[in-house]
């Protein structure tokens, strides 16, 4: 399994600089691209995200055909600010209300399919504080140049942690250990929960989408299961930061992620050891490093003392 993961990492890991805008425009042809930004109470940052993407990617580079913000019940002006910045803004509860309302990031992303038309959807969080518009062309690279790729994940360095590719608390403490245990072919993903990712519409429309924060992990597992691991690629997007949640809120997020993994797990045996892959900065990208985590579920045969 470890060799499989290494092979996938080597084949399917890219950097955003691997494609020029000209190359991507040429590869885009008639393919349409929607940028979808899920937002709940992001008045402080959503305007900047929309404005810079609109100027750089719609008006200058002509790589994105529409920018759509899906707002779930914001009470802070997110809707108005995103509209003024030039996005098409929808309230999640107003999209196909007969399907029900299950507030959460996953619902907003899934419902975006009913109000967008792009062949490819690029998702970007609305709470970004350190980021750049090259995230979008970076994510489009593998999809526009390789028809076998269905889903592309971003990953990044986080400022302040000196070259670290750690993905945050829920990523490192829940998602990556879970993947190591239950879905080891996906262990080559540096940041499986990254909010910046892109997917072909037809593929995403066929997936079961959890309504909350497990949308990303579920999409990865289900893409691997239905299309094979090579249908997934990942791109180093440089540096990124966003506003951070409280530990208590992350507990709810972790519970959603555990639930989606549990529902998709068929593990019935006990492992003695789990291969946990982590990522270290290297001069021209990242390198995997693997450690074996011992796991003992059986009590010792005799009392220790
Ligand atoms: N529309 C919508 N967006 C949401 C919801 N929950 C989170 N988001 C957005 O999804 C993005 C990532 O959410 P965030 O809470 O920052 O999660 P984290 O980055 O994983 O800690 C941000 O743009 C949020 O505003 C929701 O219920 N509805
Ligand atoms: Mg965030």
10-residue stretch averages of pLDDT, the chain, 305 residues long: 80 97 97 98 98 97 97 97 98 93 92 97 96 97 98 91 79 96 95 97 95 95 97 96 90 94 78 82 84 68 58
Q: Atom 16 (ligand 1): residue with closest C-alpha?
A: 127
Asked whether the beta carbons of 152 and 197 are under 8 A apart, the reply is yes
Asked if residues 285 and 13 have their Cβ atoms less than 8 Å apart, the reply is yes
Rounded CA gap, 67 and 53, in Å? Answer: 8
Centre of ligand 1 to C-alpha 40, Å, is 6
pLDDT of residue 166: 83
User: Does 233 reside within a domain?
Assistant: yes
Q: Give the pocket of ligand 1 (CB within 6 Å).
A: 38-40, 42, 70-72, 92, 103-105, 108, 125-127, 195, 242, 245
Query: Which CATH number is 213's domain given?
Result: 3.90.550.10
- Give pLDDT, residue 302: 62
Calculate the alpha carbon distances from 89 to 30, 84, 101, 117, 189 in Å.
Answer: 24, 10, 17, 14, 31
| Burial (CB count within 10 angstroms: exposed 0-12, middle 13-18, buried 19+), residue 220 | buried
pLDDT recorded at residue 267: 65
Q: Give domain status of residue 288, yes or no.
A: no
Give the pLDDT confidence score for residue 225 in this predicted structure: 96
User: Which residue segment(s) compose the domain that 261 sits in?
Assistant: 2-272
- Whether 284 is in a domain gets the answer no
Which ligand ends up closest to the CA of 44?
1
| Residue 132 belongs to a domain | yes
Determine, yes or no, domain membership for 289: no
Position 175 in a domain: yes
Query: How distant, in Å, are the alpha carbons of 53, 128, 168, 240 from that of 159?
Result: 21, 12, 12, 7
Determine, yes or no, domain membership for 290: no
pLDDT (0 to 100) of residue 234: 98
The structural domain count of the chain equals 1
Q: Could you tell me which of 62, 38, 32 has the C-alpha nearest to residue 50?
A: 38
**How big is the CA angle at 125 (ends 120 and 128), to the nearest 5 degrees?**
135
* Confidence at residue 224, expressed as pLDDT on a 0 to 100 scale: 97
Q: Whose CA is nearest to atom 5 of ligand 1?
A: 105
Instruction: Give the dihedral of Cα atoms 113, 143, 227, 272; nearest 10 deg.
Output: -110
The torsion angles phi and psi of 156, rounded to 5 degrees, stand at -160, 165
Pocket test for ligand 1, best of 43, 68, 127, 170 (most atoms within 8 A of CB): 127
Residue in 149, 122, 144 with CA at minimum distance from that of residue 223: 149
Please give the distance, rounded to the nearest whole angstrom, from the Cα atom of residue 247 to the centre of ligand 2. 13
Distance 45 CA to ligand 2 centre (A): 11
Assess if residue 286 is contained within a domain. Answer: no
Q: Which two tokens stand for residue 76?
A: 């802070």
Residue nearest (by alpha carbon) to ligand 1 atom 7: 105
* Beta-carbon count within 10 A of 60 CB: 11
Q: Phi and psi at residue 149, in whole multiples of 5°?
A: -85, 130
Among residues 10, 105, 85, the alpha carbon closest in space to that of 44 is found at 85
Q: Tell me what pLDDT residue 79 has.
A: 98
Q: What is the 270 CA–ligand 1 centroid distance (Å)?
A: 35
Structure tokens at 102: 């299950």
């Amino acid at each position: 399994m470890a060799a499989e993961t290494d092979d996938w990492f080597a084949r399917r890991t890219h950097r955003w600089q691997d494609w020029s805008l000209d190359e991507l425009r040429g590869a885009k042809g008639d393919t349409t691209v929607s940028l979808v930004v899920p937002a709940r109470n992001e008045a402080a940052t959503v305007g900047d995200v929309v404005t810079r993407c609109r100027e750089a990617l719609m008006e200058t580079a002509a790589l994105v055909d529409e920018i759509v913000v899906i707002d779930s019940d914001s009470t802070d002006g997110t809707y108005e600010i995103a509209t003024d910045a030039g996005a098409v803004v929808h309230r999640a509860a107003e999209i196909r209300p007969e399907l029900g309302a299950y507030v959460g990031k996953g619902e907003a992303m899934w419902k975006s399919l009913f109000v967008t038309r792009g062949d490819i959807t690029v998702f970007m969080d609305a709470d970004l504080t350190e980021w750049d518009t090259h995230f979008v062309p970076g994510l489009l690279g593998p999809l526009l140049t390789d028809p076998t790729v269905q889903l592309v994940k971003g990953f990044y360095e986080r400022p302040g942690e000196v070259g670290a590719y750690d993905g945050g608390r829920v990523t490192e403490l829940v998602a990556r250990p879970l993947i190591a245990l239950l879905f080891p072919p996906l262990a080559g993903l540096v940041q499986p929960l990254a909010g910046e990712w892109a997917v072909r519409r037809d593929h995403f429309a066929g997936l079961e989408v959890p309504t909350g924060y497990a949308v990303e992990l579920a999409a990865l597992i289900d893409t691997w299961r239905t299309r094979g691991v090579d249908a997934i690629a990942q791109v180093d997007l440089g540096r990124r930061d966003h506003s951070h949640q409280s530990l208590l809120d992350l507990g709810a997020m972790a519970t959603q992620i555990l639930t989606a993994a549990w529902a998709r797990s068929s593990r019935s045996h006990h492992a003695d050891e789990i291969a946990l892959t982590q990522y270290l900065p290297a001069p021209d990208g990242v390198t995997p490093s693997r450690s074996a985590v011992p796991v003992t579920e059986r009590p010792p045969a005799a009392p220790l003392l």
